[in-house]
Structure 1
Amino acid sequence: MKSFRYLAAALLAFIIWGFFSLAIRPLAGYASLDILFFRVFISVTLMMVIGVFARRAAWKETIQLFRKMTPAERRNWWLVTAGGGALLTANWFFFIYVMNHVSVKVASFSYLICPILTTVLAFFILKEKLRWQQWIAVALSLVSCVMLALGHFADTAFSLIVAISYALYLIIQRRAGPVDKFVLLTIQMAFSALCLLPFYPVWGHNPGWDGFFLGMTSLIAVCFTIIPLMLNLYALQGANSSTVGILLYINPLINFALAIFYFGEKVTVMQLIAYSIIGFSILLFNAHYLRAMFTKPMWKKPLDRVSGPRRRNA
């Protein structure tokens, strides 16, 4: 029963993120930078409070791990952490801008191609291997991008910017070492907040006095940042990473459905064909993960606990 909870937590996290557009679109009349400022400031404040009261052990482990590092390792860790914070902040800004000023459909496409793009970049940057089926899926994804760019080049460019910024963030996360993910994200968010703070008096419009704006950005910070993040971290303790990777596509698929059926965005025949191609490429790209899901348990096997030394047979 507990194993099912891990899977349910991952599923709920991606479903929540899938409905993110319902909280972002009502803020379309506000500047994207203002939304970013308040999302980062509120999120990092809440994460620090959670860290103090609920994640003390993780912080102590991180400090001990940091003390054991050599000066070169510490310098690299800070560079990776700062780079991750900068990329995450950039991704959030681009996503907010695309969602509110381009279309929900374009934003959803960004996260449809993001996992494939992440693997391709990891092939070139981290020298990770790709299966031949995955290379075919990459080629099909490229075809779909070209089809979408015909007559809608700016939209496709925005999709790629959002996808690339998050893909690079995920790759950098792999270089962060065995640090607690919540602690790492809190440090990255704190770095982001410190970098944004000097720009707020210059570029911010102080919409925090607006009760509606403050309420919606608080909702975004709590319901669409902190809660799904905690659910995802909990899920990764017991669910297989391949299973979580497949569930990741629930987020953009819900966004895409909302774009068409709720926000009334139009889809041309060419776009429909392109999205169908990217859907097939996703299935092909994740074929080995899908097979594993049906042939192996969808959650990790718990480690056997031994209470005391075993007695030898006399």
Structure 2
Amino acid sequence: MGAGLAYAIAAYGLWGFLPVFFVLLSPSSAPEIVAWRIVLSVVFCLVLLTVTRGWPALITIVRDTRTTLILGGAGVLILVNWGVYVFATLTGHVVEAALGYFTNPIVTVLLGVFVLREKLRPLQWVSIGISAVAVLVLAVNYGQFPWIALILAFSFGLYGLVKKQVGGRVDAISGLTIETAWLAPFASVVLIVIAANGALTTGNSGIPHLLLMMSAGVITAVPLLLFAAGARRLPLSYMGLTQYLAPVLQLIIGVFVLHEDMPFARWLGFGLVWVALIVLTIDMFTAGRGPRRASLERP
């Protein structure tokens, strides 16, 4: 289990430092970064498939039309998630993005109720109630609705729900390959349009910037593979707890590195969300099982 925990911590640690990576890609715009991330992820995944001899598994999945279409839907959701996350990072909203990933487990529970018609236990209702109060506090006292946080939480929650439909039939590399392959034509058009307008920064902002951008595929795929390795070795309850490492790191980076505003109302809202997560975690362990709806992949 020690190796599994190490893989999980490494995966969430890398995801936690993503804001620094995207900030270093300045002056690139969010559409350019996301488009390159998609295209380069496809390229890196194709290399991985060749090295790991994963082509037979990929071909088997592609022949299943239903599974391929489901993964296409997952690709759309991950496009929304990636786009909003990069936008949040580049516009000084890393703290709100962290709130989104803190909120994600609670959103996952809500989706279980309204989509899968699952029944909630009392502590789960308490957790959702506290979360609703937190959103209200952030919207009223902080002066703006936390739309970035909620879009991130719901897009990733829905992504996990869609991925649940394909279950264990799709491995991490094949899944990411198909999802990004669906998006690659759109991403290519975006890059062509940006270049035609003379706004393409990649290749025009120095060698360090170019090398960073070209590593976007690796930065996307490696944490996912580490996560998959950890998930195979750890109980879901442990995976559920380690997932909070990423938003904790994002919060630290937003407040202490990027110096984003953190007024009392925002601390209060975050505090309520953390209380809700503690309640949800207590319920998870007292129920005697791990979280049934934990997402098996992350953007």
Matches within 5 A, 1:120-199: 120-150=110-140, 152=142, 154=144, 156-177=146-167, 178-199=169-190
Say whether 1:206 aligns with 2:204. no
1:130 alignment partner, SS class = coil
The count of corresponding residues between Structure 1 and Structure 2 is 284
> Are residues 65 and 267 of structure 1, via their aligned partners in 2, closer, same or farther at CA, if it must alter by over 3 Å?
closer
Return 210-219 or 225-234, whichever deviates more.
210-219
Per-residue deviation, 1:214: 2.1
> Aligned match of 1:265 in 256, 260, 266?
260
Which stretch of the first structure deviates more once superposed, 91-100 or 123-132? 123-132
Determine helix, strand or coil for the equivalent of 2:262.
coil
Q: What residue is the counterpart of 2:220 in the other structure?
A: 225
Percent identity over paired residues = 25
Matched-pair contact (CA < 8 Å) for 2:134–2:272: yes
| Alignment-derived partner of residue 281 in structure 1 | 276
What is the deviation of 1:181? 2.6
Q: Distance in 2 between matches of 1:34 and 1:64?
A: 32
Q: How does 1:44-55 map to 2 (within 5 A)?
A: 44-55=42-53
Partners in 2 of 1:289 and 1:268 — Cα distance?
32
- Structure 1 residue runs of 5 or longer lacking an equivalent are 68-73, 297-314
- CA deviation vs aligned residue, 1:46-76 (integer Å, no higher than 9, x gap): 11100111142xx424544665xxxxxx443
What is the identity, as a one-letter code, of the residue corresponding to 2:265?
M
Task: Choose from 1, 6, 15 the match for 1:8.
Answer: 6
Q: Find the aligned partners of 2:141 and 2:92 in 1 and give their Cα distance.
A: 15
CA contact (8 A) 2:19 2:94 kept: yes
In the alignment, the residues of structure 1 paired with residue 148 and residue 189 of structure 2 have an alpha-carbon distance, to the nearest angstrom, of 27
Q: Find out whether 1:105 has 2:103 as its counterpart.
A: no
Q: What's the Cα RMSD here?
A: 2.2
1:86-116 Cα distance to aligned partner (Å, 9 max, x none) = 1111110110001111421111111110121
CA distance in structure 2 between the aligned counterparts of 1:248 and 1:127, rounded to whole angstroms? 25
- 2:211 corresponds in structure 1 to 215
Which residue of structure 2 aligns with residue 70 of structure 1?
none
Contact kept in structure 1, 2:124 and 2:279, CA below 8 Å: yes
Aligned-partner Cα distance in 2 for 1:202–1:283:
46
Q: Equivalents in 2 of 1:227, 1:65: separation in Å?
A: 22
- The normalised TM-score by structure 2 is 0.87
TM-score computed with the length of structure 1 as normaliser: 0.83
Whether the 8 Å contact between 1:114 and 1:164 is mirrored in structure 2 is yes
Output the amino acid matched with 1:230: L
Indicate how the Cα distance of structure 1 residues 64 and 212 shifts in structure 2: closer, same or farther if over 3 A, else same: closer
User: 1:28, CA displacement in angstroms?
Assistant: 4.0
Q: Residues 195-240 of structure 1: CA distance to partner in whole angstroms, max 9, x if unpaired?
A: 3222321245332213333222234432x32221111011111111
Aligned equivalents of 2:127, 2:36: Cα separation in 1 = 38
Indicate the residue corresponding to 2:297 in structure 1: none
The Cα of 1:153 is off from its aligned counterpart by 5.3
Contact 1:84-1:169 at 8 Å conserved across structures = yes
Task: Indicate the SS of the match to 1:237.
Answer: helix
The 1:39–1:284 alpha-carbon spacing in structure 2 relative to 1, beyond 3 Å, is same
Mapped partners of 1:230, 1:55: distance in 2: 15
Residue identity in the other structure for 2:237: S
CA–CA distance in 1 between the matches of 2:153 and 2:174?
A: 24
Report the CA distance shift for 1:218/1:151 in structure 2 as closer, same or farther (over 3 A): farther
Letter in 2 for 1:199: V
Q: Take 2:174 and 2:18, find their aligned partners in 1: how far apart are those partners?
A: 24
Counterpart of 2:242?
247
Equivalent position SS for 1:30: coil
